[in-house]
Amino acid sequence: MDHFPTNWGNPRSEDVDNYNTYPVASHIGKAPHSVTQIAGFGHAAGHPSTHTQQPVVTGTSVLGLKFKGGVIMAADNLASYGSLARFRDVERLHKVADFTVLGASGDMSDYQYVKHLLDTQMIREYNADDGNTLETPNIYEYLWRVMYNRRSKMNPLWNTFVLGGISQGKSFLGAIDLKGTPYQAPSIATGFGSHLAQPILRKELETRGGEENITEEDAVKILKDCMKVLFYRDARSMNKFQLAKITEQGVTISEPLSVETEWAFAEKIRGYGA
C-alpha cells in the first residue's frame, strides 16, 4: 500500500528494469567467464542466465501401461545418490487428484518441488469452488507448460514425469521430459525402461491387438515382468516397487512388493560371463 499521495500518478522510474527488457551498456564486450559468475549476480539483459544443473538424488525408470478399464503404473522405491542406493523407501508414484497419478524419475528434489506446485494448483481449484476439478489432461497440460518454460530459461526440472489417469470414461497416459517434450502413448517407460521395458510393453500391445484386450491381471503381470528385467539389468534399480492402478473406481497404490529372481547361475561365472 503506497500511502504517500505524492507518489500516486507518477510514471515508473527509469532506473529499475525488472523484466530485462533492454541491454545495459556495461555488459557489452564482456563475456561471462563462468556460470557461477552469471548465476551469482543479478544482471540485466545482454546475456541469458544459465543454471542448467546436474541431477543429485535420482529415481530410475517409471512404467505405464493402459489396459481395459484403466491405467497401471510402476516405479521402484529407490532414490540413488550416484551409485549409492541412498533412500530405499521413496514413493515415486503420487496420487494427485481422485483419478490421477504422477510418476517421477530423475532428480527427486525437483519432484518434491513439482508435487508442491501441483498441490498449490489443486488448492486453487478447490477454493474456486465452481464445480470443476482438474482432470488428468489438464494436469498434463499444466505440467508440460512448467517443464517447457523451465527448459526455455535454461534451468530445467531434471525429471521425466509420467502422468496416468481416467477422465470422463477415457483413460490417459503420457510422459513429459526435462526438455518439455510431451508424449502420449498406450505404453510409457522412462530412463532405462525406455530401452529395456518399452519393447516388451509394445510387443504385448501388438500381439494382443491393443489395450482393450489387456485385462487388469495381464497388465499387472506384464509390468512385473518388466520390473524383473529392469532389476536384473539396471544397476541403479531395486527389487522393491509399487504398482498404481487407476480405474473408474479411483486410484489404488499398492504396498511395496518384489519379484522373484534367480541368481544361482552367478556361481558358475568366471570372468565377464562370455
Partner 1 sequence: TSIGIRVKDGVVLAVEKLATAGLLADGRHIVKRAREEAQGWRDIYKMPIDGPSIANRIGDYVAAYTLYSSVRPFGCSTLIATMDNTGPKLYMVEPSGLFWGYHGAAVGKGRQVAKTEIEKLNLEEMTCREAVKHAARIIYNVHDDAKDKDFELELSWVCEESNGLHQIVPKDLAAEAEQYAKASILLT
Site membership for partner 1, residue 116 (CB under 8 A):
yes
Q: Nearest distance from residue 246's CB to partner 1, in Å?
A: 21
Tally Cβ neighbours within 10 Å of residue 37: 10
For the bound state, the minimum distance from the C-beta of residue 120 to partner 1, rounded and expressed in Å, comes to 6
One of 24, 39, 45, 123 touching partner 1 (CB under 8 A): 123
> Up-side HSE of residue 79: CA atoms within 13 Å toward CB?
18
Min separation Cβ 249 and partner 1, Å: 19
- Name which position in 17, 98, 119, 248 contacts partner 1 (CB under 8 A): 119
Question: Per the structure block, which three cell numbers stand in for 118?
Answer: 501441483
Span from 24-32, 72-80, 118-126, 262-270 in contact with partner 1 (CB under 8 A): 118-126
Q: Are 173 and 164 in contact (CB under 8 A)?
A: yes
Contact between 3 and partner 1 (CB under 8 A)?
yes
Site stretch for partner 1 (CB under 8 A), options 24-32, 114-122, 194-202, 223-231: 114-122
User: Considering the rule CB under 8 A, would residue 268 count as an interface residue with partner 1?
Assistant: no
| Minimal distance, residue 268 CB to partner 1, in Å | 51
Is 179 one of the binding residues for partner 1 (CB under 8 A)? no
Is 52 known to be catalytic?
A: yes
For the chain, the distance separating the N- and C-terminal CA atoms, rounded to the nearest angstrom, is 75
Stretch that binds partner 1, among 31-39, 89-97, 113-121, 201-209 (CB under 8 A): 113-121
> Is there binding between residue 98 and partner 1 (CB under 8 A)?
no
Q: Which three cell numbers stand for residue 137?
A: 489432461
Other CB atoms within 10 A of residue 40 CB? 9
Dist. CA 51–CA 38, nearest whole Å: 9
HSE at residue 238, side-chain half, CA atoms within 13 A, is 24
* Separation CA 49–CA 55 (nearest Å): 19
Q: Which three cell numbers stand for residue 40?
A: 551469482
Q: Does 45 bind partner 1 (CB under 8 A)?
A: no
Alpha-carbon distance of 162 to 147, in angstroms, equals 13
Q: With binding defined as CB under 8 A, does residue 250 bind partner 1? A: no
Q: Is 233 helix (H, G, I), strand (E, B) or coil?
A: helix
Member of 6, 127, 168, 207 binding partner 1 (CB under 8 A): 127
**Beta-strand runs (E) in 41-117:** 57-59, 62-67, 70-76, 79-81, 84-87, 93-97, 100-107
Closest to partner 1 by CB, 7 vs 207, is: 7
Number of residues that bind partner 1 (CB under 8 A): 8
Cβ(102)–Cβ(118) below 8 Å:
yes
Considering the candidates 50, 52, 120, 181, report the single residue annotated as catalytic.
52
Contact residues for partner 1 (CB under 8 A)? 1, 3, 5, 116, 119-120, 123, 127
So which residues are the catalytic ones? 52
